[in-house]
Amino acid sequence: MQSDTELRSLIQDEIITQIGSRADDLDVQVLLGGVTVTGILVSEEEKSSLCDAIQSMPGVVRLSDDTMVVAGTSAQVRDADVARPWFPAG
């Protein structure tokens, strides 16, 4: 059985293979085979393909996909655009 560090490295390699230099726009965390991916992708197809690839990797027991699709962008989104509070102001 591979370690979480080894699994994270394999997942990062797959991300680089699929989206190239934009791999820096994603963050991968692995704990006991549970994988959480966060960040920005540019299409639903890209998101689906990446999730399918990660879920099919040996050692992945679950995937939490916290990515966001921002179409028509190079995935350069300002923090102020995505880091809004979820609760109403007041």
> What confidence tens digit (pLDDT) does each residue in 8-63 have?
999 999 999 999 988 999 999 999 999 999 999 999 999 999 999 999 999 999 99
Residue 87 predicted with pLDDT over 90? no
For residue 64, give both structure tokens: 């939490």
- CATH number of the domain residue 10 falls in: 3.30.1340.30
pTM of the model: 0.75
Domain presence at residue 82: no
Q: Which amino acid is at 46?
A: E
- Please give the residue range of the domain that contains residue 37: 4-72
Domain presence at residue 78: no
Quote the number of domains for the chain.
1
For residue 58, give both structure tokens: 């040996």
Give the count of alpha carbons within 13 A of 71, CB side only. 3
Domain presence at residue 49: yes
Domain presence at residue 79: no
